[in-house]
Amino acid sequence: MGIRWDDPQTVRVQVRPELINAGGLLSGVVTYAMVDYCMGSTLWAQTSAEERIATISISINYVQTAVEGELVCRTALDRRNRSNAVMKSEVRHEDGRLLVTAIGSYAIFTKVPRASLAAQAARARRERDGADGGKPR
């Protein structure tokens, strides 16, 4: 897709022929991907080494479209707590036209150690296969 990262709050895309849909306009997937990437980057800069993030939802408003030029997405973190964050983004054409507005929410969680995941999977297999005598834990 060609998303270029400027800083945690800014990404860019140059409109190219392969990003134009059958109707001759910029595919909405392009600006949606820019928003999701930029929101993730903005929040990632605010996390600790133990934290991970995942998109919960993004509501996007397609105001205008483009067929050429450079697009710039900027994101601002509105609110963050221990487990959630809310952000807003705008995608503008290089000429200043507003193309997209969006709000998004993200989950923030602690990384689960791999050993813990393996132990959970092994326990589930034993319970499923009756290897523990069929006794519930």
pLDDT tens, position by position, 57-115:
999 999 999 999 999 999 999 999 999 999 999 999 999 999 999 999 999 999 766 66
The CA R_g of the chain, rounded to the nearest whole Å, is: 21
Express each pLDDT in 17-50 by its tens digit.
Answer: 999 999 999 999 999 999 999 999 999 999 999 9
83 in any annotated domain: yes
134 in any annotated domain: no
Give the total number of structural domains in the chain: 1
Alpha helices in 26-107 (DSSP H): 28-44
- What is the pLDDT at residue 118? 74
Confidence of residue 128 (pLDDT cuts 50, 70, 90): confident
The CA distance from 7 to 34, in Å, is 13
The sign one gets for the Cα dihedral 96, 17, 88, 50 is negative
Which residue range is the domain that position 14 belongs to?
4-129
136 in any annotated domain: no
**Distance between alpha carbon 70 and the CA centroid of its chain, in Å?**
21
CATH number of the domain encompassing residue 18: 3.10.129.10
97 in any annotated domain: yes
